[in-house]
Amino acid sequence: MAAEVKKIAVIAGDGIGPEVVAEAEKVLKRTEELFGYRFETEHALFGGIAIDEKGTPLPQETLEVCQRADAVLLGAVGGPKWDNNPKELRPETGLLGIRKALGLFSNLRPAVVFDCLKDASTLKPEVLEGTDLIVVRELTGGIYFGEKYRRDTEYGQEAVDTSSYNVKEVERIVRQAFEIAGKRRKKLASVDKANVLETSRLWREVVNRVAPEYPDVELEHVLVDNCAMQLLRRPSSFDVIVTENMFGDILSDEAAMLTGSIGMLASASLGEGSFGLYEPVHGSAPDIAGQNLANPIATILSVALMFRMTFGYADAADAIEAAVADVLNAGHRTSDIATNKSTAVGTEAMGDLIIAAM
């Protein structure tokens, strides 16, 4: 039985991006050999390298490569070289542009605590035990995108940021979160600040209206301040957390730190349907680029997330995640997660260990 060919747009990007993406591509190849799935990759320029070679962070042909793909795998973009460029020539502007052009409205960040790395966290191992949660963050609305301005007052300048959400924007992400929770441990925490914010009251109304369509998912409403506290107190009690843009920005960073290194964290940005863009949470890490030091696990776990969320290849996703756990349990570490740096392995060796363990 020949599997359907899945098209993956591969964007290596800047800094350590090409190094970690190369390891993720080895995992794609290994998955084909082991599971019979078939992938067709198409590489495209994006970010700083695209600015240098094409004069824009998001060339039209890159967008087209992404649009004809089933999913996008992205390394990382940006670096000091482009930080002082005018806005339209900054890698970050390309990121906003690609999300918009691809209709990506949610950002998913799993936070899974690997048993053998529990000691690396600042929390007690017994608190972290069993932590496996996903933060689903709305990406297109809220205070980051609202009207902003300054005005003069008798007390000096006043600055104003506004936040808005409409029913459609809330409903699409809430439905997505219910769907995701339904495929996991069936618990959804909707996070808001409904005791003071009007956007939060609308948010909660929409959640309550949609909830009866997902009777098997247990829903709780949690105020954002309480959620911040509970993430540190009893992180294992969460399954899926869904929240608006700014709350999600803050809570997903908080949740990330439960698990130790930034080099371990995967993410997905999703729109309607199954299409998604998958990338490590970390940036381009210019300080360690080109030295075979980067931890490729975040990018490799992003491939596992792609298999699970976009392709429905749970068997391959499980195999990758289990291989990562096995390699860590066997004591192998890249230097970012190593307690003894002298025995740390490099980027390529870590990739090889993981594909061997699959």
In the set 132, 253, 326, 352, the catalytic residue is 253
Bridge partner residues of 160 (DSSP): 149
Indicate the helix (H) or strand (E) that contains 279: strand 276-280
Q: Is 166 marked within a binding site?
A: no
Q: Is 285 marked within a binding site?
A: yes
What's the token pair of residue 6? 């899945």
Helix 224-233 crosses helix 245-258 at what angle (to 10 degrees)? 10
In the set 6, 249, 278, 336, the catalytic residue is 249
Residue nearest to ligand ATP according to CB distances in the complex: 283
In the set 118, 193, 239, 336, the catalytic residue is 193
Q: How far is the CB of 303 from ligand ATP (least distance, A)?
A: 14
Q: Is 329 marked within a binding site?
A: no
Q: Name the phi and psi angles at 53, rounded to 5.
A: -95, -25
Q: Which 8-state DSSP code applies to residue 4?
A: P
Beta strands 156-161 and 148-153 are: antiparallel
Q: How many residues does the chain have?
A: 358
In the set 144, 186, 326, 352, the catalytic residue is 144
Q: Is 295 marked within a binding site?
A: yes
Q: How far is the CB of 285 from ligand ATP (least distance, A)?
A: 4
Q: Which is nearer to ligand ATP, 9 or 297 (CB)?
A: 297
Handedness of CA 278, 281, 287, 291 (dihedral sign): negative
To the query of whether residue 249 is one of the catalytic residues in this protein, the response is yes
Beta strands 71-76 and 187-192 are: unpaired
Spatial CA neighbour of 164 closest among 196, 137, 136, 197? 197
Q: Is 89 marked within a binding site?
A: yes
In the set 52, 225, 315, 318, the catalytic residue is 225
Q: How far is the CB of 231 from ligand ATP (least distance, A)?
A: 21
Q: Is 249 marked within a binding site?
A: yes
To the query of whether residue 118 is one of the catalytic residues in this protein, the response is no
Q: Which residues bind ligand ATP (CB under 6 A)?
A: 16, 20, 78, 262-263, 282-285, 287-288, 294-295, 298, 336
Q: Which residue has the tokens 């696990």?
A: 297
Q: How far is the CB of 46 from ligand ATP (least distance, A)?
A: 13
Q: Which is nearer to ligand ATP, 71 or 301 (CB)?
A: 301
Q: Which is nearer to ligand ATP, 23 or 169 (CB)?
A: 23
Q: How far is the CB of 101 from ligand ATP (least distance, A)?
A: 20
Query: Residue 222 and residue 332: Cα distance in Å, rounded?
Result: 38
Indicate the helix (H) or strand (E) that contains 329: helix 314-329
Residues in Cβ contact with 288 at an 8 Å cutoff, skipping those fewer than 6 apart: 16, 294
Q: Which is nearer to ligand ATP, 268 or 293 (CB)?
A: 293
To the query of whether residue 183 is one of the catalytic residues in this protein, the response is no
Q: Is 225 marked within a binding site?
A: yes
Indicate the helix (H) or strand (E) that contains 109: strand 106-112
Helix 17-35 crosses helix 297-306 at what angle (to 10 degrees)? 50
Helix (H, G, I), strand (E, B) or coil at 25: helix
To the query of whether residue 132 is one of the catalytic residues in this protein, the response is no
Cβ atoms 123, 91 nearer than 8 A:
no
Q: How far is the CB of 329 from ligand ATP (least distance, A)?
A: 19
What's the token pair of residue 269? 């940005």
Q: Is 92 marked within a binding site?
A: yes
To the query of whether residue 52 is one of the catalytic residues in this protein, the response is no
Q: Which is nearer to ligand ATP, 240 or 324 (CB)?
A: 324
Q: Which is nearer to ligand ATP, 89 or 211 (CB)?
A: 89
Residues tagged in the binding site annotation: 79-92, 99, 109, 137, 225, 249, 253, 283-295
- What residues are annotated to the active site? 144, 193, 225, 249, 253
Residues tagged in the binding site annotation for NAD(+): 79-92, 283-295
Residues tagged in the binding site annotation for substrate: 99, 109, 137, 225
